Amino acid sequence: MSPLLPQARFVEQAHEPLTLTSPILVSAPLQFVAEVEVFAADLRQAIGWDVTFSPEADGADVVIEHCETMAPEGFSLRVDGRIEIAAATPTGLFYALTALRQLGPPSLFSTSGIRLEEWVVEGVDVVDEPVYAWRGSHLDVARHFFDVETVCRHIDLIAEHRLNYLHLHLNDDQGWRVDVPSWPLLTTIGAFRAGSPVGHENDNVQDSVPHGGYYTAEDMARIRNYATLRHVTIVPEIDLPGHAQAVLAAYPELGNTGERFDVWNHWGISEHVLNVSDEALSFAEDVVLSVASHFPGSPVHIGGDECPSTEWSQSPAAQAVMREHGFRETHELQGLFTTRLAAALQRAGHEVLAWDEVLDAEVPEGTTIVAWRSEAKGVEAARRGYATIMAPETVFYFDVLNTDDPREPVAISPLPRVTTWRDVYGHAIVPSDMTEGEAALVRGAQVQLWTEYIATRDHLDYMAFPRLCAFAEVVWGSAGDVDEFEVRLRRHLERLAARGVNFHPLD
């Protein structure tokens, strides 16, 4: 049985194993040098081996070739006397080298320099490429802040599962997480709260332990550059005009009531949102462009979800803006933010993403809809002609309980709501009621790690894995028999164990 995860489109164990020892000699074109260097660094960290470049293919252990006819993320890998890899792009090669490591012992994924005398590489032919272009993981760093090292470790882990987007949720009612020099109070005030809920939010108990943190420009650059090496694109999200209490704690004049607020120490959705003045719209544009500038050319998510309209309905100023624009429903005011932010980002060369609530108002052309409330919202977006990323909370929200075991740690929803790795593996990215044309607008999918109840790196691991393993194979497009997958998954978890991942046990 193939040891690969995600499984390849074509894999055949047709040859004898190959035994490698250090140093491994690699022959590769110049455009692939960076990927070989990352592979070398990984092996050095895992088992202390060296990788050296060979000027000639003859005598090399690994021969890498550029093949223009392959798919952009595709590769071929053949182990037969030596290792032969072909790819059209550096990304394809990165995935090939990740697959190559899976043809050896779990220690190849260690981070602690486990001693290994020889590496027996399974003899195979592999030809592979993904079905979906968008294979994402979302990480909320607003509810609980995670430092640069933890974010980079998560990048490592998703890249090893051939996911290629990391969506960072950078602000919410409970904290603002990125420095914006023109609005300094966002970090001096908005990045820190006085406490957090203890147990479940419904218990209405808060501690008095301060929590906070934010990323500097240098931090953003470190995350961006690290992700680039791992062929992961960072998608920053600034979620406005709702989820804004941390903003209003810093700049109350941007609110609707003139009140002063603290950064919220509750979970859930604050009723306090930005007002709809020119000043608030300019603020939103300024901060979104500032954050986007750290990630040139990357898609940018502008949020748009869960924006209560109560304050707008009670605000004479907001009602005047409604009349000015001819709006009939208060929630249409949110479209002013969507339209302005999308236009500004598109002028700056960014693709725009938004949660599916923006479908309730005017949606700017070119916006990609991230459908989280239901698959039906993804179907609606596609039927209206919008590119769509499937992220339904029913199965791709990993802040939900792993199992119905009463010993599970507190999660966002109580029993009986559970999402198992088997649930994830059995889920189709494209709903069966989509037409072929609608399905073509589905770019892929992503899982969401909201962190109201995830405060540590180990707990993040526990909620992500092994569900993310199952998702990786589904979104790669090679999911098949669940029992066969479980056999490979158990072997794969040995790799995660070697890496120090605190995954949820299968048994």
Residues found in the chain = 507
**61, part of any domain:** yes
CATH code for position 29 = 3.30.379.10
Q: Is residue 156 part of a domain?
A: yes
Asked if the structure places residue 399 within a domain, the reply is: yes
Find where tokens 């993310």 sit. Answer: 468
If asked whether residues 182 and 233 sit together in one domain, one would say: yes
CATH number, residue 208:
3.20.20.80
Residues 148 and 108 in one domain: no
Predicted local distance difference test score (pLDDT) of residue 269: 96
Q: Which of 154, 167, 211, 243 is catalytic?
A: 243
> Does the active-site annotation cover 306?
yes
Place of tokens 């790819």: 87
Measure the CA–CA gap between 152 and 226, rounded to whole angstroms. Answer: 7
Q: Out of 350-364, 449-463, 478-492, which region has the weakest mean confidence (pLDDT)?
A: 350-364
13, 500 contact by CB (below 8 A): no
When pLDDT is averaged across residues 133-144 and rounded to a whole number, the result is 98
Same domain as 97, residue 73: yes
Catalytic pick among 42, 140, 160, 172? 172
CA distance 190 to 254: 13
Model confidence at 1: pLDDT above 90: no
* Domain region containing 105: 10-128
| Residue 16 shares a structural domain with residue 159 | no
Q: Give the tens place of pLDDT for each residue, 148-158.
A: 999 999 999 99
- What is the model's pLDDT at position 507? 86
Asked whether residue 343 is assigned to any structural domain, the reply reads no
Number of domains making up the chain:
2
Please indicate, yes or no, whether residues 249 and 123 belong to a single structural domain of this protein.
no
Which of the pair, 361 or 323, is modelled with greater confidence? 323
With respect to residue 354, please indicate whether it lies within any of the assigned structural domains: no
> 280 and 423 in one domain?
yes
User: According to the model, what pLDDT value does residue 54 have?
Assistant: 85
Q: Is residue 194 part of a domain?
A: yes
pLDDT at 112: 87
Whether 395 is covered by a domain: the verdict is yes
- Of 128, 147, 178, the position where a domain reaches its end is 128
The predicted pLDDT at position 475 comes to: 98
In a domain, 484, yes or no: yes
| CA gap 196, 184 in Å, rounded | 23
Q: In the annotation, is 50 catalytic? A: no
Q: Which of 83, 105, 128 is the last residue of a domain?
A: 128
Q: Enter the DSSP assignment of 215.
A: B
Question: pLDDT tens, 83-105?
Answer: 999 999 999 999 999 999 999 99
- Single out the residue of 232, 256, 237, 230 nearest to residue 245, CA to CA: 256
Instruction: Looking at the structure, tell me whether residues 118 and 161 fall in a common domain.
Output: no
pLDDT > 90? residue 273: yes
Same-domain check for residues 459 and 491: yes
| pLDDT classification of 55: cutoffs 50, 70, 90 | confident
- Residue finishing a domain among 108, 128, 148: 128
Q: Are residues 214 and 75 in the same domain?
A: no
- pLDDT tens across 357-396, in order? 999 888 999 999 999 999 999 999 999 999 999 999 999 9
pLDDT band at 133 (very low <50, low <70, confident <90, very high): very high
Average pLDDT, the chain: 97
User: Among all chains, which residue has been given the structure tokens 């990125």?
Assistant: 178
pLDDT recorded at residue 338: 95
326-338: average pLDDT: 94
Q: Are 171 and 219 found together in one domain?
A: yes
Confidence at residue 361, expressed as pLDDT on a 0 to 100 scale: 84
How deeply is 252 buried, as exposed, middle or buried, from its count of CB atoms within 10 A (0-12, 13-18, 19+)? middle
Same domain for 86 and 153, yes or no, is no
Closest CA to 391 of 457, 469, 443: 443
Q: Tokens at residue 399, please?
A: 């802040």
Looking at the structure, do residues 224 and 163 belong to the same domain, yes or no?
yes
Q: Is 172 a catalytic residue?
A: yes
Among candidate residues 271, 285, 286, 306, the one labeled active-site is 306
How far apart, in Å, do the first and last CA atoms of the chain sit?
Answer: 22
